[in-house]
A = this chain, B = another copy of it.
């Protein structure tokens, strides 16, 4: 198993989460390689029994492939948590560093992180950390955009966390665990007005509200 193949597997896994049908061109875009490269890589992943692929048909992950991918994601998210909790990195910095560290083969290192962190269930963006068997236990949260006026909720996760979003939330002093109350919803642009541990009410766009996953509290 090479770093490269690990990255393909991870990419396929993430595409798999969002849609069912995975095309080679999408994978190529995600991996930033040409079509012939994807094509030959997919063949070689198939030989390892991580994907199922037939000419001109959509790509599928095998159970084995899903597990393999989940174990890489486990390393990634444990690392992110460690970087945030033990090394003082911000949640907007950890992804990039974890992208490199996730490929280390030395299990001891990740096991120790896990232990030091007290076996965390989620990473600094609220995404679930798969267990050592590659099983993911994900809670189902609701986008903030779907909550009614007057309801009190807690931010638990993010749909996807770009650096830009994370820096924006930093500026607004919104973090995982922040509890907020919907004060008003603007029908025209679907923006919402919320109140939390700050003197003033804050306006959040529909775009942002769709990305914040919350639970009632």
Contacts and interface: CB of A to CB of B under 8 A. Distances in A.
Taking residues whose C-beta sits less than 8 angstroms from the other chain, chain A's interface range is 10 to 19
Interface in A110-160: 112-113, 116
A88 interface: yes
Q: Is the interface of A mostly helix, strand, loop or mixed?
A: helix
A216 interface: no
A2 to B, nearest CB: 11
Please give the count of copies of this chain that the complex contains: 2
B106 A104 contact: no
Contacts of A112: 87-89
A106 B100 contact: yes
Contacts of A106: 96-97, 100
Interface in A78-107: 83, 86-89, 93, 96-97, 100-101, 104-106
A151 to B, nearest CB: 40
A168 interface: no
Nearest to A89: B112
A171 interface: no
Interface in A36-55: none
10 contacts: A83-B109, A87-B113, A88-B112, A88-B116, A89-B108, A89-B112, A97-B109, A100-B104, A100-B109, A101-B101
Interface of A: 83, 86-89, 93, 96-97, 100-101, 104-106, 108-109, 112-113, 116
